[in-house]
Amino acid sequence: MSVERKGYCVNGEWRASVTDTYTPVTDSSTGEVIAEVPRCTAEEVGEAIASAQAAFPAWSALSLSRRVQMMFRWRDVLVDHLDELTLLCAKEHGKNLNESRGDILKAIEPTELACSLPYAIQGSNAVQVTTGFDCSTFRQPLGVVAGIVPFNFPAMIPWGWMVPLAIACGNTVVLKAATPTPLTSMRILELFYEEAHFPKGVVNLVTCTHNEADILLTDERIKAVTFVGTTGVGKQVTATAAAHGKRVQAQCEAKNHALVLADCDLEATTNAVINSAFGCAGERCMALPVCCVEESIADEFVAMLKQKAEAMAIGRAYDPETKLGPLVSAEHKARVEGWIAKGVEEGAQLVLDGRDRVIEGSEGGFYLGPTIFDHVEPGMTVGEREIFGPVVCIKRVHGYEEGIKVMNANPFANGSSIFTQDGYWARRFKLETDGGMVGVNVGIPVPTAYYPFSGNKQSFFGDQHVLGLDGYRFYTRAKTVTEHWFDEGSSARKLDSWEGTVERE
């Protein structure tokens, strides 16, 4: 069976790459190759930048109201194709249908936020700041901006975190799609032009390695870079792009912790941890892979968590009954299995082993069942580093004080949660946790798009986060104007700044 070779998109047109190197895209549930994408050449990346630059003057010159009208239309196109995009996301990524649907919905939500553009980027004005002088501030688009995305949210990250606010503000975009999961983003871009009828060149898309993507960090035509990926790469992206005068927002790794106190609602808490730790097979930066559990309830908590994890239905991502789908690729599955072996080697107690899971009829799929480690001690890397798979680590603590200390010792601080019925501990936690996004009895404390996705420490580099008002500020620059106007015949007038009066000679 022949496999479709995809191209790259420049100026609204899909072009065949001149490269000889293509990367397979698989159905994660079966291991079957369903498409191939090109390793675009440096010249082809340059074409995408040139297309975005050429489209910028006309696009940025459109009125705010016209751009917002187009964003409303774009939102409706995404809603109309929700089921189609959900199935495609599930197939190439491995998320179950509900999780894949959520991925698309999380792209729609920021599109709705972008419709608030005329209100959100209003400037300020002060008259008579000094005698006869007025000052005002307004915001303008930057120009061409770049997005470098990971595999785990093929719709939400490029088409939620990046594109809506960037283009609503008047910028044009070059996307470097994730090679393992590019098909959802490519299909969305087709709809962007074919059904939403955006001007050609407003959004361009390439697939390539980091070597070619480095052009986006150094080319003077690129004014800002949004990156999502590992912390090591995020540091390099931040340093390189900033050295070339670009704005950067780099969302990086996480090792989110939850503090589970003895007074929590145990049933509700374990349900929340199951959803957070094992949802999307743990392949999300807001997963909850570590629980600091108060010792007095730890045995009961672990037993209940194991029981619920064992009951999860594992299967093909697009089967309606599936609760836990496969990992994204064979390579990533091997990496996560390596972490499980590392945890055993370090001495953590393996309560539930998810390795060696085979689904009948889908033996080639990349399946890994829920995995639970108990008695994870300080210094065990399995409890400190991001695994990005369905693995949860239990760290036993003796109350709030020890728990918050253990949590804040971690170098990452994307999100954190506390499970308690006591408002005193909850309030202290909100103030004392290093986590940028905080949950109180919430397993996945991701805010709506109206608030910034605000990681801290080694989880984020930059000064403006994605989404919320931060997103608007990141994709625009401020200008402050000081004005002074003279009356007709002003050459015969003088301004007495000391007395604050104008006298005619």
Give the separation between CA 288 and CA 266, rounded to whole angstroms: 16
Give the separation between CA 473 and CA 485, rounded to whole angstroms: 30
Strand partners, 228: 251
Enter the tokens of residue 199: 């001007």
Tell me if 393 sits within 8 A of 370, measured CB to CB.
no
Give the separation between CA 182 and CA 14, rounded to whole angstroms: 14
Q: Is 285 designated active site?
A: yes
Tell me if 40 sits within 8 A of 19, measured CB to CB.
yes
* SS percent in the chain: helix, strand, coil, step 5: 40, 25, 35
Give the separation between CA 341 and CA 373, rounded to whole angstroms: 11
H/E element, 10: strand 8-10
Long-range contacts of 123-128 (CB under 8 A, 24+ apart): 123/478
* Environment class of 116 (CB within 10 Å of its CB; exposed 0-12, middle 13-18, buried 19+): middle
Residue whose entry in the numeric block shows the structure tokens 């959802």: 184
Residue 47: closest CA among 95, 22, 13: 13
Alpha helix (H) residue ranges in 228-379: 231-243, 266-278, 295-310, 330-346
Give the separation between CA 228 and CA 222, rounded to whole angstroms: 17
Tell me if 175 sits within 8 A of 204, measured CB to CB.
yes
DSSP 170-215: T-EEEEE--TTS-HHHHHHHHHHHHTS-PPTTSEEEE---HHHHTH
Tell me if 139 sits within 8 A of 478, measured CB to CB.
yes
Considering the candidates 169, 208, 280, 285, report the single residue annotated as catalytic.
285
End-to-end CA distance of the chain: 92
The residues annotated with a catalytic role in the active site are: 285
